[in-house]
Amino acid sequence: MARPYWSGPMQISLVSFGVSLYIATESKSRINFHQISRSTGERVRHQKVLESTVDSDEAAIVQKDEIVKGYEYRKGQYVTIEPSELENLRVPSKHAIEISQFIDVKEIDPEYVEKPYFVVPEDDSQAEAFAVVREALVKTRKAAIGKIAFAGREHIIAIKPAEGGRGMMGYTLRYQDELRNQEDYFRDIKPAKINEDSLQLAESLIAKRSAKFDLGKFEDGYEVAVKELVDAKVNHLPVPKDEAPKTRRNNVVNLMDALRKSIDSDSTAKRPPRKPVKSEKEPARRGIGLVKQAAKTAGRRKSA
């Protein structure tokens, strides 16, 4: 198992037990680009230099250990902050997650969720208290809300039982003022009168398209296209190009017609193929002959 991202006590009133947080996500990108000189093909490296020497013939390079953080309190004037000073900031949530309240799980708004973490007992001696609190959260359908500090800021964290496991999930949440005001974007939407027949057709279309959500069926189409581009260039093949979407025939302007045709197209797509009708005069062939005949029939249907 990887090293925990954060470890420390989780405190609920006078109850305290150690937990460890592990980052629950990882980047799956298979294509990584570097910056290359167009003229020489060499990789470009970046160096940090003094601002006063940027435009000179010989820029003054600054080594990594010479760089500290600085806050501009007045134009062109900075106060420097040492790493040790940041490490010694007086923030209690650096050391412990103090639970301040419990909420219904459904109260966690998805738009505020920032990043997920796996939460496990810090060691075997913490397992009993961890299990008791987890089971209590399961039975009450609650999530614990607290604060935790890492990566240069203090986060709100929601902790709830993981589905189908013995662990828990932690979700760092955005602060309310980090989410833009939705009214700034929604206020210009004009009110529309809803036709009851259109609404029923829309509900029917949703019902026909409803299915159990399986994330495993989805893949990053952009990543696939980039891989095809790289493979084509490596193997000196024609570079694939984007094609303009084909204009659909019989463009439907009327909403009712669009809904009806959508429902009909879904029904046709899901309808099982008809079995070939046996001829009374000619006996049905077996084996490969029947397969070939079915293939020809499929070809005619596709071209129709």
pLDDT, tens only, 143-197: 999 999 999 999 999 999 999 889 999 999 999 999 999 999 999 999 999 999 9
Q: Looking at residues 203-214, what average pLDDT do you find? A: 92
Please check whether residue 39 lies inside any domain of the structure: no
Q: Quick one: 200 and 263 in the same domain?
A: yes
Q: Quick one: 102 and 153 in the same domain?
A: yes
Give whole-number Cα distances, 115 to 75, 98, 99, 171, 229, in Å: 36, 19, 18, 6, 32
Candidates 235, 261, 267; CA nearest to 248 is: 261
B/e letters for 75-106, b = 16+ CB within 10 Å, e = fewer, are eeeeeeeeeeeeeeeeeebeebbbbeebeeee
Please check whether residue 160 lies inside any domain of the structure: yes
pLDDT category, 297, cuts 50, 70, 90? very low
Q: Quick one: 17 and 146 in the same domain?
A: yes
Q: Compute the mean pLDDT over every residue in the chain, rounded to the nearest whole number.
A: 86
Please check whether residue 12 lies inside any domain of the structure: yes
Please check whether residue 128 lies inside any domain of the structure: yes
Q: Looking at residues 119-130, what average pLDDT do you find? A: 96
Please check whether residue 243 lies inside any domain of the structure: no
Q: Looking at residues 228-245, what average pLDDT do you find? A: 88
Q: Quick one: 257 and 151 in the same domain?
A: no
Please check whether residue 16 lies inside any domain of the structure: yes
Give whole-number Cα distances, 128 to 122, 124, 285, in Å: 11, 8, 69
Q: What phi, psi does 95 have (nearest 5°)? A: -105, -20
pLDDT category, 58, cuts 50, 70, 90? confident
Cα angle vertex 103, ends 100, 105, to 5°?
Answer: 135
pLDDT at residue 278 tops 70: no
Q: Quick one: 95 and 201 in the same domain?
A: no
- Parent domain of 200: 196-208+253-267
Q: Looking at residues 8-33, what average pLDDT do you find? A: 91
Please check whether residue 227 lies inside any domain of the structure: no
pTM (2 decimals)? 0.74
Q: Quick one: 115 and 159 in the same domain?
A: yes
pLDDT at res. 218? 87
CATH number at residue 21: 2.40.290.10
Q: Quick one: 98 and 202 in the same domain?
A: no
Instruction: Give the number of other Cβ atoms within 10 Å of residue 275's Cβ.
Output: 7
Q: Quick one: 126 and 17 in the same domain?
A: yes
> What is the C-alpha to C-alpha distance for residues 163 and 137, in angstroms, rounded to an integer?
12
Q: Quick one: 200 and 149 in the same domain?
A: no
pLDDT at residue 25 tops 90: yes
Please check whether residue 71 lies inside any domain of the structure: no
Q: Quick one: 123 and 259 in the same domain?
A: no
Find where tokens 């997920």 sit: 116
Question: 170 pairs with which residues across the strands?
Answer: 117, 159
**Structural domains counted in the chain:** 2
Q: Quick one: 142 and 200 in the same domain?
A: no
Find where tokens 């790289």 sit: 230
Q: Which two tokens stand for residue 243?
A: 């094609």
Sequence letter at residue 281: K
Q: Quick one: 12 and 99 in the same domain?
A: yes
